[in-house]
């Protein structure tokens, strides 16, 4: 086992996506992650599909497979005393516990924050909710698309103000998991000095507000209301998706030096009235787009991408996901991994996005976790986990 969190034990009580994604990130870093599921069907995501894969009597949800690698599974009825006893034993061994129940559920189960720290004072507790743990709407159930709308992300996504769209992946859930994992690692660092475990709280709402970036300061500082405007940047031009003879390409002209290069290589007059500066090109966006697309109209996409690369202009194409997972650059970064699933056999999964290297002796040696385990079937590791707990008790 490799990774900076080797030796850390995580108890994952969460389900669906935000909490499981956080736990998976910690597992990718080498932590031992024990996923605690309900005996009645397990994690909700096990039933989310199609697509399902595998034999008809034991189908697996590809949704579940996306966020549960590098975990062990045990099924516990947390409303029973036996289930609670096993959970308490796990918590005594754990460094981290993750939950994304609605507010008050953990307390009703007998595992409030104070009770958790009575069991294990060093426990780092990650709690993820939809709209925050307090405030007038704390009890609202949080689902990704609802929060994308409520937190303003959909208002700046889509072809225009009358065609707002959700982001194509559950970005509020995923970002909550990422922020949550970041908070856990920070709390573990703090615990090394204090010896006490902190409570880390985040939410789907805060995760979306956390990525408002320049759209947020446009609203809070300039008091302007950002709106959706399709595949073109609201503050930089030309920056977006542009049509050419047989399709389209994307370019990012982030400064006037790049604009000059674009003009020189594609016959555009850089002194065209209204297009001399970035601010002018943004103000006159429609004319900017028309000018660039006219220059690109005589080239096919592949030829155009080669020309843009030669000119030093950042450019790319829009790939489908099947193309992405065959891309040599993706493969070179370890972003596709192979694991052996207990019922599906060998399968490929998206890989961890972070790599680690030891450069202490001047030569970089990769220390990233490279051996991964498949997402577990429900209760797959119950015997192993209970044996580990019994051994510890003895």
Given this model, what pLDDT does residue 393 score? 76
For residue 16, give the CATH number of its domain.
3.40.50.10540
Digit-coded pLDDT (tens) for 80-125: 999 999 999 999 999 999 999 988 889 999 999 999 999 999 999 9
Digit-coded pLDDT (tens) for 137-147: 999 999 999 99
Residues 27 and 155 in one domain: yes
- 371 located within any domain: no
The pLDDT of 209-222, averaged and rounded, is 96
| Cβ–Cβ under 8 Å, residues 33 and 60 | no
- 85 located within any domain: yes
Residues 257 and 387 in one domain: no
For residue 271, give the CATH number of its domain.
3.30.1540.10
| Total domain count, the chain | 2
| Cβ–Cβ under 8 Å, residues 73 and 60 | no
Rounded to two decimals, the pTM is: 0.93
Cα 43 to Cα 109: distance, rounded to the nearest angstrom:
18
- 260 located within any domain: yes
3-state DSSP assignment of residue 75: strand
Given this model, what pLDDT does residue 197 score? 96
Taking 90 as the threshold, does the pLDDT of residue 392 lie above it? no
Digit-coded pLDDT (tens) for 19-71: 999 999 999 999 999 999 999 999 999 999 999 999 988 999 999 999 999 99
Longest distance between any two alpha carbons in the chain, whole Å:
82
Burial of 269 (0-12, 13-18, 19+ CB in 10 A): exposed
* Cβ-based neighbour number of residue 66 at 10 Å: 20
Q: Which residue out of 173, 300, 358, 390 is catalytically annotated?
A: 173
Cα 62 to Cα 290: distance, rounded to the nearest angstrom:
42
Active-site residue 144, yes or no?
no
Residue with tokens 């225009």: 160
Digit-coded pLDDT (tens) for 2-24: 899 999 999 999 999 999 999 99
C-alpha dist (Å) from residue 104 to 108, 304, 327: 6, 57, 46
Strands (E), 47-167: 52-53, 60-61, 72-75, 96-99, 124-129
Please state whether the peptide bond connecting residue 365 to the residue before it is cis, i.e. omega within 30 degrees of 0. no
Digit-coded pLDDT (tens) for 312-349: 999 999 999 999 999 999 999 999 999 999 999 999 99
**Distance from the Cα of residue 48 to its chain's centroid:** 18
Residues 198 and 295 in one domain: no
Domain termination site, one of 281, 298, 316 = 316
- Which range marks the domain in which residue 36 is found? 9-211+376-393
């Amino acid at each position: 086992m490799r990774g900076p969190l080797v030796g850390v034990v995580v108890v994952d009580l969460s389900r669906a996506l935000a909490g499981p994604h956080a736990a998976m990130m910690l597992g990718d870093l080498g932590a031992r992650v024990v996923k605690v599921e309900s005996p009645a069907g397990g994690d909700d995501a096990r039933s989310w599909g199609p697509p399902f894969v595998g034999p008809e009597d034991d189908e697996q949800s590809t949704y579940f497979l996306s966020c549960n690698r590098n975990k062990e599974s045990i099924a516990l009825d947390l409303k029973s005393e036996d289930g609670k006893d096993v959970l308490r034993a796990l918590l005594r061994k754990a460094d981290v516990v993750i939950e994304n129940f609605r507010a008050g559920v953990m307390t009703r189960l007998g595992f409030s924050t104070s009770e958790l720290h009575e069991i294990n004072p060093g426990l780092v507790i990650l709690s993820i909710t939809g709209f925050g743990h307090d405030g007038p709407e704390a009890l609202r159930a949080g689902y990704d698309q609802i929060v994308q709308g409520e937190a303003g992300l959909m208002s700046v996504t889509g072809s225009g103000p009358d065609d707002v769209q959700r982001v194509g992946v559950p970005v509020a859930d995923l970002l909550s998991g990422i922020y949550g994992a970041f908070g856990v690692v920070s709390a573990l660092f703090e615990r090394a000095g204090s010896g006490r475990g902190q409570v880390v709280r985040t939410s789907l709402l805060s995760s979306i507000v956390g990525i408002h970036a320049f759209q947020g300061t446009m609203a809070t500082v300039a008091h302007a209301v950002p709106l959706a405007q399709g595949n073109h940047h609201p503050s930089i031009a030309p920056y977006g998706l542009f049509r050419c003879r047989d399709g389209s390409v994307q370019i990012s002209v982030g400064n006037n030096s790049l604009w000059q290069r674009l003009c020189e290589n594609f016959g555009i007059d850089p002194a065209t009235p209204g297009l001399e500066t970035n601010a002018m090109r943004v103000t006159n966006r429609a004319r900017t787009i028309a000018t660039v697309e006219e220059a690109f109209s005589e080239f096919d996409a592949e030829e155009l991408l080669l020309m843009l690369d030669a000119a030093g202009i950042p450019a790319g194409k829009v790939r489908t996901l099947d193309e992405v997972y065959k891309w040599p650059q993706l493969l070179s970064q370890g972003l596709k991994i192979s694991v052996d699933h207990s019922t599906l056999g060998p399968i490929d999964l998206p890989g961890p996005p972070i790599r680690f290297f030891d450069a202490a002796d001047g030569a970089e040696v990769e220390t990233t976790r490279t051996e991964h385990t498949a997402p577990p079937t429900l209760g797959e590791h119950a015997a192993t986990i209970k044996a580990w707990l019994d051994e510890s008790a003895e």
